[in-house]
A and B are shown apart, each in its own frame.
Chain A
Amino acid sequence: MNNILKIQIRKKLFLIPLIIIPFFIATKSYIIIFLLLQGRFFNVFQQADFQVHLYHITGSTLKKMLHSYNLSWGIWFNLWFILSQTIYLFSNSGSFQFIIIELIDFNIILFISFIIGNMLSNSDLITIKIGLLKTMAASFVFGTCISLAFALLKILTLLNTPIFIHLILLMIMVGIWQYYTKQQLQIKFIQYYL
């Protein structure tokens, strides 16, 4: 993962989730960021910051790549989100517990994005020849899932669900992500990335 972080820093890609700050301060919501940056999630192999053939020819399994790649983006998303929250806290009042719940929920959405993004990136969807249609299909699936998950989390927050329920949900999502990525051995449609 060190190398992926190094590449992302040198390419200044780590700045991409920075747009979270103005959006969060203006709307106090983060869902728009996931919808705006959805291509980062469901186009993993095009956006991998290096040629994915390297994994193919070295016999490396896809799970290794997905783990490092997802976690590196997880670091940058969290970094900018925590900064957004800090700025928001300084300029507005808010309870610390609420802030923590929001951070947990943010990570739940993040891991759901990784799961759906990884699934779409290595699915038959890649074989759709018309680029616009492919993006629309992926965007529809991703957007719907993320929006539904976000709505459910908001309901939980409105119902004043205890923090540990949010934590359990996060652990479940991390577990599913871990399980799914472990099953991934190869890029199914490597020829599409030549």
Chain B
Amino acid sequence: MMKIENITKSYKKQEVLKGVDLSCKTDQIQALLGANGAGKSTLINIISGLIKTDDGAFFIDDKRITIDSYKYRIKVGYVFEKPIYIEKLSAKEYLTFVAKMYKLPKNEYPQRIEELLTFFELPSDNKKYIESYSKGMKSKVSLAAALIHQPSYLILDEPFDGVDFVSIQKITRLFKDLTKKGVTILITSHQYDVVAELCDNFALLKAGKVIFNLTMPELVEKANIKHKNSENPVKSYLESLMNDSQESQLSWLK
């Protein structure tokens, strides 16, 4: 179980996170939704140990994770909003590099790499470097690196950025299979349809706070009350919560 407890973060005088509480249950996929600038990536960076929190804590299996919790960090696979990869290496070379950093046994990682390259449809030769890959391929490299060490937890910030819909379907099936094997996943994404299909729980981060954390049936129930006549009540409900400002007119375009 991953638990975020009262995390606060300010940059200069701006309070980005105002006491975020969130529990990600074991074997489940937790979605973290929010408009641009809601603080999702800041929260992901904090729980990944890349940024220090002003207050609050992050727990994995009831163990408080600090910036120094190396042993716990390797139980987690990460994908960041700005994907980490080495542009001057091929996917195969990069995955080998990552496997060595995780100290995976030499007799194990070559096969894992081959399987990951096949699964994500990435080039298995070393002719092209990651810098020449498309955005979607770079996201896939990042995802492959997050999975190589068989993590028990996945923290994924916009993992499907630029990924084609066929691959997204394949990856979502993989994530569902992983949860059946006991993996806990926290995911942020702006692709509503993907998240709706994939996740078990939906938390909405707004103005630096989690305003709800509901299961899909609970979300449907709430949405049906307020957006009964809409074609997709849940989507409309989320949209109304995420964007409460009036639509701009862009008068010069009309």
Bound complex: CA A57 to CA B51 (Å): 12
Contact yes or no, B49 A190, CB < 8 A: yes
Set of chain A residues within 8 Å of B52, measured between Cβ atoms: 191
Contact yes or no, B51 A54, CB < 8 A: no
Q: Which of B67, B74, B84, B96 contacts A51 (CB 8 A)?
A: B84
Set of chain A residues within 8 Å of B101, measured between Cβ atoms: 54-55, 58, 60
The minimal Cβ–Cβ distance linking B83 to chain A, given in whole angstroms, is: 9
The minimal Cβ–Cβ distance linking A2 to chain B, given in whole angstroms, is: 9
Bound complex: CA A57 to CA B48 (Å): 7
Q: Which of A3, A54, A56, A61 contacts B49 (CB 8 A)?
A: A56
Bound complex: CA A3 to CA B94 (Å): 9
The interface-forming segment of A6-14, A105-113, A150-158, A161-169 is A6-14
Q: Which of B45, B50, B68, B97 contacts A186 (CB 8 A)?
A: B68
Provide the B83-120 mask, 1 if CB < 8 A to any CB of A, else 0: 01010110001001110011000000000000000000
- Residue B176 at the chain A interface, CB threshold 8 Å: no
Given contacts A3-B97, A190-B49, contact A53 B84 (CB under 8 A): yes
The minimal Cβ–Cβ distance linking A105 to chain B, given in whole angstroms, is: 33
Bound complex: CA A3 to CA B98 (Å): 11
**Contact-residue size bin, chain A (C-beta under 8 Å from the other chain):** 20 to 34
Q: Which of B71, B86, B89, B97 contacts A59 (CB 8 A)?
A: B71
Given contacts A3-B97, A190-B67, A191-B52, contact A57 B86 (CB under 8 A): no
Set of chain B residues within 8 Å of A190, measured between Cβ atoms: 49-50, 67
Find the A residue at minimum CB distance from B87: A50
Bound complex: CA A60 to CA B101 (Å): 6
Contact yes or no, A10 B67, CB < 8 A: no
Bound complex: CA A56 to CA B74 (Å): 9
The minimal Cβ–Cβ distance linking A143 to chain B, given in whole angstroms, is: 31
Contact yes or no, B102 A194, CB < 8 A: no
- Residue B129 at the chain A interface, CB threshold 8 Å: yes
Set of chain B residues within 8 Å of A61, measured between Cβ atoms: 70
Q: Which of B51, B68, B102 contacts A58 (CB 8 A)?
A: B102
Bound complex: CA A190 to CA B73 (Å): 14
Q: Which of A7, A53, A60 contacts B50 (CB 8 A)?
A: A53
Contact yes or no, B98 A54, CB < 8 A: yes
Bound complex: CA A54 to CA B48 (Å): 12
Provide the B45-77 mask, 1 if CB < 8 A to any CB of A, else 0: 100111110000000000000011011011010
Set of chain B residues within 8 Å of A3, measured between Cβ atoms: 86, 89, 93, 96-97
Find the A residue at minimum CB distance from B70: A59
Find the B residue at minimum CB distance from A13: B88
Set of chain B residues within 8 Å of A7, measured between Cβ atoms: 86, 88-89
3 nearest CB pairs, A to B: A59-B74, A58-B101, A10-B88
Residues of A at under 8 Å CB distance from B?
A: 3, 6-7, 10-11, 50-51, 53-61, 185-186, 190-191, 194
A-B contacts, 7 listed (Cβ < 8 Å): A7-B88, A10-B129, A11-B88, A56-B73, A59-B102, A186-B67, A190-B67
